[in-house]
């Protein structure tokens, strides 16, 4: 039954683009296809992209989409939200409203759980398995509690939040800004991902920012190969963007 709603219409929600399917049976021909939807960039999270993973065990929302009638109706039509993973403090958005609507579990790294007072949250330290196919991985650097989410399906999909974003060539890169918490730690956690995965287990990266640089796509293909091409020693020397 559709959820009752008193969400006010805002300029952001009028008109709004519909969430898009990220991968297809063709792109996942050699592995189990899990429906993944990318929401339009959200002004409340500085243009961040939220993703919905539709699983039999319960749907998982990664970061907060714009909280408007279209997003709420879409989530309701897909079966609601069982778990909401916040990948970094900038992805919080309207988490309180989403939890109130769907009674979902909110998962956030323990160093940023204090940002959600009076909410029921599940904090974690290093790693957290939230389903047989989904793992949250702490990748501090962009912020103290930055994390990625790994989906063991479709050839391996990493939802990288702001830990890795797209550059102008559509490649995954760490991005240093004036607000970066710990740049060297962020680079070390890029290496941690390279050590953890390989080209057979990491085929896709769904970044939480700079989606416009992917020229209409919502995921970076050949993800491990592109990530392995990074010169991390040169990345360490990168100056922060204003």
Give a yes or no: residue 137 inside a domain: yes
User: Is 22 a member of any domain?
Assistant: yes
Residue 3 lies inside a defined structural domain of this protein? no
Q: Where are the alpha helices (DSSP H) in the chain?
A: 69-77, 95-102, 183-196, 223-228, 232-236
Count the helix, strand and coil residues of the chain and give each as a percent rounded to the nearest 5: 25, 25, 50
Q: Give which of 48, 58, 27 is closest to 154, Cα–Cα.
A: 27
Cβ atoms within 10 A of the Cβ of 148, count?
A: 26
Does residue 229 lie within any of the structural domains?
yes
What's the chain's average pLDDT?
A: 89
Number of domains in the chain: 1
Question: Is residue 242 one of the residues assigned to a domain?
Answer: no
Q: Is 97 helix (H, G, I), strand (E, B) or coil?
A: helix
- Spatial distance between the Cα atoms of 23 and 136, rounded to a whole number of angstroms: 20
Extended beta strands in 96-191, E state: 105-109, 121-124, 127-131, 134-138, 147-151, 157-161, 165-166, 172-173
Give tens-digit pLDDT for 77-135. Answer: 999 999 999 999 998 999 999 999 999 999 999 999 999 999 999 999 999 999 999 99
Residue 75 lies in a domain: yes
| Per-residue pLDDT tens over the stretch 142-162 | 999 999 999 999 999 999 999
Q: The domain spanning residue 99 has which CATH number?
A: 3.60.15.10
């Amino acid at each position: 039954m559709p959820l009752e709603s008193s969400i006010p219409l805002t300029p952001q929600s009028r008109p709004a683009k519909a969430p898009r399917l990220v991968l297809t049976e063709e792109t996942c021909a050699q592995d189990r296809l899990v429906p993944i939807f990318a929401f339009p960039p959200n002004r409340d999270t500085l243009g961040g992209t939220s993703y919905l993973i539709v699983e039999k065990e319960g749907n998982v929302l990664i970061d907060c989409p714009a909280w408007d009638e279209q997003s709420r109706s879409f989530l309701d039509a897909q079966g609601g939200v069982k778990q909401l993973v916040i990948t970094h403090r900038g992805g919080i958005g309207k988490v309180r409203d989403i939890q109130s609507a769907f009674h979902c579990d909110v998962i956030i790294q323990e160093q940023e759980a204090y940002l959600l007072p009076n909410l029921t949250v599940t904090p974690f330290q290093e790693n957290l398995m939230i389903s047989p196919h989904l793992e949250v991985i702490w990748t501090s650097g962009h912020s103290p509690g930055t994390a990625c989410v790994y989906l063991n399906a479709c050839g391996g999909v990493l939802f990288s939040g702001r830990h890795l974003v797209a550059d102008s060539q559509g490649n995954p890169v760490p991005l240093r800004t004036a607000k970066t918490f710990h740049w060297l730690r962020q680079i070390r956690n890029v290496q941690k991902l390279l050590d953890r995965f390989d080209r057979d287990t990491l085929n896709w990266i769904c970044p939480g920012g700079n989606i416009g640089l992917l020229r209409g796509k919502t995921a970076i293909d050949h993800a491990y190969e592109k990530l392995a091409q990074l010169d991390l020693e040169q990345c360490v020397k990168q100056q922060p963007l204003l």
